[in-house]
Structure 1
Amino acid sequence: MMKAIWNNTVVAESDDTVVVENNHYFPADSLKKEYFEDSIAHTTCPWKGRASYYSLRVADELNKDAAWYYPETSPAAEKIKGRVAFWKGVKIEE
């Protein structure tokens, strides 16, 4: 079971992650939604598409834009559709 951990709190866990470019993409339904806030940030990947972001809030601490996902993936990135990945100090552990 893979876990995404930030601020000593598990914010997502699943035994069904997809690894792309060394990032574990968690199914959206594995997120502990109470820690996630929508962000206005967006970036574009040439082969995956336009990414949207979530910020994490745990124990009144904010990790801005710490998770990303692709609302509409390109055909080449279909396997990460509906999945979320992490960075900015979020640890991924088994």
Structure 2
Amino acid sequence: MPKAMWNNQVIAESTDTVVVEGNHYFPRTALRDDVIRESDTHTICPWKGQASYYSLALDGNESQDAVWYYPDPLPAAEQIRDRVAFWKDVKVVD
């Protein structure tokens, strides 16, 4: 089962991931609420739309904008609605 690991903690886990461009998109409900913080960062993907971000914080550790999601994806990326993906120091393992 795919898991997102950050600082030796499982922060998301699900058998229901969607892989897009090599990234596992987990259901938003699989991500632990206690580790995320809202971010004002946004980026644009030409075919997925505008991405929003969460930062991670737990036990004095922080990772800025390590989680991204598309709150209103373009039609070509509808399969990632209500899903989150990870980068930076988050590792996705099976």
The residue that corresponds to 1:74 in the other structure is: 74
Q: Does structure 1 residue 91 correspond to structure 2 residue 62? A: no
Structure 1 residue runs of 4+, over 2 Å off? Answer: none
Deviations 1:9-61 (A, max 9, x none): 11100000000000000001101110011100000000000000000112111
Question: What residue identity is the alignment partner of 2:35?
Answer: Y
**TM norm structure 1:** 0.98
5 Å-filtered alignment, 1:18-57, equals 18-57=18-57
RMSD (Å), alpha carbons: 0.5
Checking the alignment, whether the CA contact within 8 Å between 1:49 and 1:74 is kept in structure 2 is yes
Question: What residue identity is the alignment partner of 1:52?
Answer: S
The secondary structure found in structure 2 opposite 1:78 is helix
Distance across 2 between alignment mates of 1:25 and 1:85: 5
User: 5+ unaligned residues in a row in structure 2: which ranges?
Assistant: none
The residue that corresponds to 1:14 in the other structure is: 14
**TM norm structure 2:** 0.98
The residue that corresponds to 2:58 in the other structure is: 58
Identity between Structure 1 and Structure 2 (%): 59
Distance across 2 between alignment mates of 1:60 and 1:34: 13
User: 5+ unaligned residues in a row in structure 1: which ranges?
Assistant: none
